[in-house]
């Protein structure tokens, strides 16, 4: 568990983007009984998810959000000094997708790299970008960063998997940061417990279990086994147990470190794992439901995009004045992150359609 602080960085704006196409659980045709579908929907809180069609990548959604955000802010493309892409569904094995995005967006030379994290990744991305901004010098203007976070998780699901298909949707996001000596300090807590590696797991596709045969083509049975191993395995019971055990103490520790309490925070925006889990977390942490927005009904669990997407969908009209915000990410890894920051008036966050 690591507690850290950053001074003099401000969040200037954010946007999210989802694919136009969407599907309901009924359209997935894996739960044939209406009562069964309704019970599941009531529990996880997901009715419809946006699904990226073949050929649309996470980077496309993030790029759309980023380009609209730059217009909102009136920032020139050659004024971006840091570009971080947070995803588990990059365009390529190599190079880092951030490099391709730097070129596609027409940005000047800048820090550009990927962070391979999911549920906790958005907060990690913000902290990393802010840390870099504090370390660089720019002539004539404040240093600026874009954090692009998102995933197309549905591309990694088995179509018949009743544990994951009802839950996951696709989305991207863009968040702008800027050096500001008047900005209030950020307080962050980060941690990892790698014993949870196999509970949210895609085993095949890396060098530990490659999909490409070394010398001769794989036989049919091996191909089928690799196909299944290259899709998401989700152990929902272990995820639930990990979350309820670790996240409430994480929130308490963050508030103590930041010198505040639940009453001093306007909104707690948590990774949108599932509705039942979020309500349990809020109750166990003493957070009123009015302070813990949920945006799962039409989007599902969108991995690293879920926090900014929730802000854009549920809190779009709340930033015409300063707000005290806590962001909490948790899950795959196991990995967790929490950040307390102040957000002053920013352009109205929006959810764009790709």
Alpha helices in 14-120 (DSSP H): 25-28, 34-44, 58-73, 97-104
Tell me the pLDDT tens digit for each residue of 167-183.
999 999 999 999 999 99
In this structure, the number of other CB atoms found within 10 A of the CB of residue 76 comes to 12
Question: Is 80 exceeded by the pLDDT of residue 1?
Answer: no
And the tokens for 4?
């850290």
27 vs 274: CA distance, rounded Å: 20
- Determine whether 214 is an active site residue: no
For 32, other C-beta atoms within 10 Å of its C-beta total: 8
Write out the DSSP string of 127-186: HHHHHHHHH---SSS--EEEEEEEEEGGGGS-TT-TTTTTTB-EEEEEEEEEE-TTSPPE
pLDDT digits (tens, 9 = 90+) for 115-124: 999 999 999 9
Backbone CA torsion sign across 208, 333, 154, 236: positive
Which domain covers residue 18, as residue numbers?
Answer: 1-354
CATH number of the domain that residue 75 is part of: 3.40.47.10
pLDDT of residue 265: 98
DSSP summary character for residue 75: -
- 219's CB contacts (< 8 A; 6+ apart) are none
- List pLDDT tens digits, range 191-242: 999 999 999 999 999 999 999 888 888 889 999 999 999 999 999 999 999 9
271 is catalytic: yes
**Residue 199 annotated among the catalytic residues of the structure:** no
Q: Within a 10 A sphere around the Cβ of 350, how many other Cβ atoms?
A: 16
Active-site residue (options: 271, 274, 298, 344) = 271
β-bridge mates for residue 200, sequence order: 234
Catalytic residue among 119, 218, 235, 274: 119
Q: Phi, psi at residue 109, to the nearest 5°?
A: -55, 135
Average of per-residue pLDDT values in the chain? 96
pLDDT, position 286: 97
pLDDT in tens, 25-60: 889 888 888 898 899 999 999 999 999 999 999 999
How many residues in total does the chain contain? 354
pLDDT band at 5 (very low <50, low <70, confident <90, very high): very high
Domains contained in the chain, number: 1
**Could you tell me if 293 and 310 are in contact, meaning their C-beta atoms sit under 8 angstroms apart?**
yes
Tell me the percentage of the chain whose pLDDT exceeds 70.
Answer: 100
Model pLDDT, residue 215: 85
pTM: 0.96
- 91-144 confidence digits (pLDDT tens): 999 999 999 999 999 999 999 999 999 999 999 999 999 999 999 999 999 999
């Amino acid at each position: 568990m690591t507690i850290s602080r950053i001074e003099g960085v401000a969040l200037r704006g954010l946007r999210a983007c989802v694919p136009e196409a969407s599907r309901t659980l009924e359209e997935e045709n894996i739960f044939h009984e209406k009562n069964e579908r309704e019970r599941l929907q009531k529990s996880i809180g997901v009715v419809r998810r946006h699904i990226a069609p073949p050929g649309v990548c996470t980077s496309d959604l993030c790029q759309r959000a980023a380009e609209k955000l730059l217009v909102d802010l009136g920032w020139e493309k050659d004024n971006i000094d840091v570009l971080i892409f947070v995803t588990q569904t990059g365009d390529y094995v190599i190079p880092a997708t951030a490099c391709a995005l730097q070129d596609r967006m027409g940005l000047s030379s800048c820090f550009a790299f990927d962070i391979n994290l999911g549920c906790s990744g958005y907060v990690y991305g913000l902290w990393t970008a802010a840390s870099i901004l504090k370390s660089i010098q720019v002539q004539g203007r404040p240093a600026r960063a874009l954090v692009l976070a998102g995933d197309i998780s549905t591309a990694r699901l088995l179509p018949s998997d009743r544990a994951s298909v009802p839950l996951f949707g696709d989305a991207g996001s863009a968040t702008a940061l800027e050096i500001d000596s008047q900005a209030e300090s950020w307080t962050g807590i980060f941690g990892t417990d790698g014993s949870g590696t196999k509970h949210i797991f895609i085993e095949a596709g890396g060098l530990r279990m490659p999909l490409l045969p070394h010398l001769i083509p794989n036989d049919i049975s091996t191909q089928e086994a690799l196909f299944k191993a290259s899709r998401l395995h989700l152990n929902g019971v272990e995820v639930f147990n990990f979350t309820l055990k670790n996240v409430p103490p994480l929130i308490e520790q963050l508030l103590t470190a930041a010198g505040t309490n639940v009453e001093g925070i306007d909104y707690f925006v948590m990774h949108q794992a599932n509705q039942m889990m979020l309500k349990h977390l809020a109750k166990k942490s003493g957070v009123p439901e009015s302070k813990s927005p949920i945006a799962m009904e039409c989007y599902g669990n969108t991995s690293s995009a879920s926090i900014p997407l929730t802000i854009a969908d549920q809190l779009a009209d709340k930033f015409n004045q300063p707000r005290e915000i806590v962001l909490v990410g948790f899950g795959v890894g196991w990995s967790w992150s929490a950040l307390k920051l102040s957000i002053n008036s920013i352009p109205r966050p929006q959810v764009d359609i790709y």
